[in-house]
Amino acid sequence: MLLALLPAVGHAGPPPIETARPLARLPHDRSAFTEGLLISRGVLYESTGDYGHSDVRRVNLANGRILARHALPDRYFGEGLARFGNRLYQLTWKSGTGFVYDADTLRPIRRFHYAGEGWGLTRCGRQLVMSNGSATLQFVDPSDFSVRHRLPVTEHGRPVTHLNELETIDGLIWANVWLTDDIVRIDPLDGHVVDRIDASALADAMPESVDVLNGIAYDARRDRVYITGKYWPVLFRIAPPPVPEAADQNASARARCQSRR
């Protein structure tokens, strides 16, 4: 097991709230109901949702052009996406079925199964981390998707529910909080929220026809963070806030959760 589940610890005071500061705007497919987002080797990968419209795609990061795509059968609602080695893992919402693809060609390789709903997915060292809309993250083995351990997520001692799309950056797990304009950054060692990122100004700048904020991607090669939302015509590059000092003290331990892409 990569990370042992630790008992909850007390953290004085509520976590700080940072403001998402945009550095650049890139085009994004306004017809994409974004559920999963990641960047690997300079290429953007995206999982889209909605019955009859779900797919997984490779996208030119600079101009938003779709390079390749694989459509899901109409009975599946695409959800979170993560890369492990040269494989992409895609969740679906209520079917309990996920799909594995070749990352270069998007060729389907196999299916896997899990209990409950599938929402967000990210890599944490040698494991994948999955959200299901609750306040608990599940650490799973990519080989068979068995649950290795569960991590309750709390903010100032209270559970944080509706955890959605996930990304691992600098050893912290970032999570969109569904139906809000917030992203929480979670310490994978004990599950506490180290801070919130308020992206309401970016959401407010979008047309009324868009849906909620959802989609976090990290370009590890260039140390850049991107966020978007469902049906958003823009992919924002934002300045990642510094890690709070208290959380930064555990940086060496959190490094085991680093997503090596």
Structural domain spans, the chain? 17-257
Instruction: Please give the pLDDT value at position 71.
Output: 98
Residue 15, pLDDT score: 86
CATH of 17-257 given 2.120.10.30, 3.10.180.10, 1.20.120.640, 3.30.9.10: 2.120.10.30
CB 153 within 8 A of CB 131: no
pLDDT tens digit sequence for 143-173:
999 999 999 999 999 999 999 999 999 899 9
Residue 253: its pLDDT value, please?
62
> CA 165, 232, 26, 239: dihedral to nearest 10 degrees?
-50
What are the average pLDDT values for consecutive 10-residue runs of the chain, which has 261 residues? 42 83 97 97 96 98 97 98 97 98 97 97 96 97 95 95 96 96 95 96 94 96 96 97 72 66 53
Cα(175)–Cα(197) distance, integer angstroms: 10
Q: What is the pLDDT of residue 244?
A: 77
Q: Are strands 172-177 and 163-169 parallel, antiparallel or unpaired?
A: antiparallel
